[in-house]
Amino acid sequence: MSTYKENHYRSLDDADAFWTEQAARIDWVKPFSNVCDFSTPPFAHWFVDGETNLCFNAIDRHLATRAHQNALVWVSSEVEQTRTYTYRQLWEEVNCFAAVLKSIGVGKGDRVLIYMPMIPEAVFAMLATVRIGAIHSVVFGGFAAASLAARIDDAKPRVMITADAGSRAGKIIPLKPLTDESISLAEHPPKHVVIVNRHLDKSMQTLPGRDMDYAALAPRHKGEVVPCEWVESSHPSYILYTSGTTGKPKGVQRDTGGYTVALASSMQTIFATQPGESFFCTSDIGWVVGHSYIVYGPLINGSTTVMYEGLPIRPDPGIWWKLVEQYGVVAMFSSPTAVRVLKKQDVGYLTKYDTSTLRYLYLAGEPLDQPTSDWIEKGVGVKVIDNYWQTETGWPILSAQPGIEETPRKLGSPSFPVYGYNVKLKHEETGAAVSANEKGVLCIVPPLPPGCMSTIWGDDARFVKTYFGMFRDEQVYTTFDWATRDADGYYFIMGRTDDVINVAGHRLGTREIEEAIQAHKNIAEVAVVGVADSLKGQVPIAFAVVKDHRQVENAELAARQEKEVMATVDHELGAIGRPARVHFVTALPKTRSGKLLRRVIQALCESRDPGDLTTIEDPTALEQVRNAVQ
């Protein structure tokens, strides 16, 4: 048994031997000839020539030993239903879905856009897509039509899979009308739309010829066996869009072999779970955490994955712990925001159920504050493991790794670099490695380990420029996060270096929100900043300059205009991007060269010292922001 330090050292010093061992955790139909081809940096090609299939590793290979074990347990407090699928039953469902996709012409390399609520069919659709060598792009159900259309035009899917509706706090959230609208906005619409009709939205309209009802198609393909399409390791398994500095989301492209190996390995080293045990991740399949740790990671590991549709406080705030008791969950994955939601409820719910099976609670996606971490750790009696990563990496960059070694935890720190990640904190300007407790930009010296993004879908140049172009002295991957490392080697994340904000653990670009606001006809100019919030971590606040000032000339009109702007964001981007406040001003703080001073605005909103203001063009703009937030 090695220590985490020895393991990390070996993963970099003797990478070929290390990753060859890790690769043995999954099944390959053809062995790889080279562990990593890094001949065209910064592109890394892991497990060259090796052939495998993600779905095979998640389901088929377990059939011999765990056909009758639960693979997927789905619980919905929204529709009050529970459904369980053994590995054998999941295999049957996925084969059927794969046969349906094939029957409508989906083949290797085709894209399938999945816009679904948290239902088992979403999991079948993802697994069926990779089974036949197609590439999925799951779009979070909270995104609106225009965002969806932008993703359609980038991924150019042959088929879209959706449902009539989702449900949130008992309220029906129709998805099909947004699907229709997105298709009418898109330049590259899909040929077909497969609809999983939950019969929640009785008014759903369909377009004959294009739209197909899964319930009508499935019986024709029941019992069919669709062989796995063996793909070379670097074959894309999926595209997942994420926000950055520009308004245009980036399609993070994931490979097959490297991702499967990284997840198989992390389930045991970081999440310390054995095959046959239950794993519960409270994320949504539309986010990277859901991809890796609701769907693929647990299934590759032979675990039982618990999938939950609903809020953590309905029917009461004990629902999560009830599921832990019921399914004997050993490891759970959630977000600090979700825990802060529970913190507002009766603490008695934390001990109402027997949660003694639970070994660790993993929290990620945003900074974890000490009071929240303490509260849940003591309340449930479970060790909290803060872990830090990104959509781009697909699995943790920094985390304690109790499957390798139990190390003491420090509150506020996601501990240490995970094996495979050559982490370096670089000085923002000089690029030099910073010393202990000094703030630097968290970078990864390439090659990025297996599982991380291979490129930006359709745009290699943007991949290189965006992620590897920050420093002149060295081509390193930039996370765009500030961090420090203390003398004991523990890392602390200090926030983003760019204009990305984190609302309730959801990553959003302020540019994206600004572009959505600009769709309102009376907006001339707008700046959006992320402002600290005790529940959601951050919330977006907008400062807008209007074209026609008469429409905001008194408080009543301004309030009406503010509501309209918020509704525009709901429509363009989705309610997750809705600003908490829209303030109307006549000028925005900018430098003389016209650059928006977002950091100054943000500081004023958070009652902090805005720092050096000598570059500001029009000081009255600053006064307006100050007055607005007071």
44 HSE (CA, 13 A, CB side): 21
**Residue from 257, 414, 446, 530 that binds ligand PRX (CB under 6 A)?**
414
Q: Which residue, 242 or 278, is less far from ligand PRX as judged by CB?
A: 242
Q: Kindly identify the residues of this chain, within the stretch 215-244, that bind ligand PRX according to CB under 6 A.
A: 242
**Residue from 289, 339, 380, 470 that binds ligand PRX (CB under 6 A)?**
289
- Closest distance between ligand PRX and the C-beta of residue 599, in Å? 16
**Residue from 388, 468, 490, 543 that binds ligand PRX (CB under 6 A)?**
388
Nearest residue relative to ligand PRX (C-beta): 391
Q: Which residue, 106 or 331, is less far from ligand PRX as judged by CB?
A: 331
Q: Is there a contact between 442 and 425 (Cβ–Cβ < 8 Å)? A: yes
Is 53 a binder of ligand PRX (CB under 6 A)? no
Helices (H), 237-362: 257-269, 288-290, 297-300, 319-327, 336-343
E strand intervals along 286-408: 304-309, 329-334, 360-363, 383-386
Q: Reduce the DSSP state of residue 388 to 3 states and report it.
A: strand
Residue of 486, 495, 493, 564 lying closest to 523 (CA atoms): 564
Q: Is there a contact between 317 and 342 (Cβ–Cβ < 8 Å)? A: yes
Is 260 a binder of ligand PRX (CB under 6 A)? no
Q: Kindly identify the residues of this chain, within the stretch 307-366, that bind ligand PRX according to CB under 6 A.
A: 364-366
- Closest distance between ligand PRX and the C-beta of residue 136, in Å? 18
Site string for ligand PRX, 502-521 (x = CB under 6 A): x----x--------------
Q: Which residue, 249 or 446, is less far from ligand PRX as judged by CB?
A: 249
**Residue from 233, 266, 304, 387 that binds ligand PRX (CB under 6 A)?**
387
Is 413 a binder of ligand PRX (CB under 6 A)? no
Is 386 a binder of ligand PRX (CB under 6 A)? yes
252 HSE (CA, 13 A, CB side): 21
Is 496 a binder of ligand PRX (CB under 6 A)? yes
Q: Among the candidate windows 121-129, 387-395, 454-462, 555-563, which touches ligand PRX by CB under 6 A?
A: 387-395
Residue of 502, 572, 496, 487 lying closest to 535 (CA atoms): 502
Q: Which residue, 51 or 499, is less far from ligand PRX as judged by CB?
A: 499
Q: Which two tokens stand for residue 579?
A: 């600003």
Residue 37 backbone class (left: φ over 0; alpha: ψ -120 to 50; beta: rest): beta
- Closest distance between ligand PRX and the C-beta of residue 211, in Å? 32
Q: Which residue, 401 or 568, is less far from ligand PRX as judged by CB?
A: 401
E strand intervals along 116-185: 135-138, 159-163, 165-168, 171-174
Is 112 a binder of ligand PRX (CB under 6 A)? no
Q: Which residue, 255 or 386, is less far from ligand PRX as judged by CB?
A: 386
- Closest distance between ligand PRX and the C-beta of residue 369, in Å? 10
Q: Reduce the DSSP state of residue 56 to 3 states and report it.
A: helix
Q: Which two tokens stand for residue 369?
A: 């504050």
Pairing status of strand 192-196 against strand 211-213: parallel
Measured between alpha carbons, how far is 79 from 309 in angstroms, rounded to an integer?
Answer: 9
Site string for ligand PRX, 442-481 (x = CB under 6 A): -------------------------------------x-x
Q: Which long-range contacts (CB under 8 A, 24 or more apart) does 85-88 make?
A: 85/120, 87/59, 87/62, 87/63, 88/63
Measured between alpha carbons, how far is 177 from 179 in angstroms, rounded to an integer?
Answer: 5
* List of residues contacting ligand PRX (CB under 6 A): 242, 288-289, 364-368, 386-391, 414, 479, 481, 493, 496, 502, 507
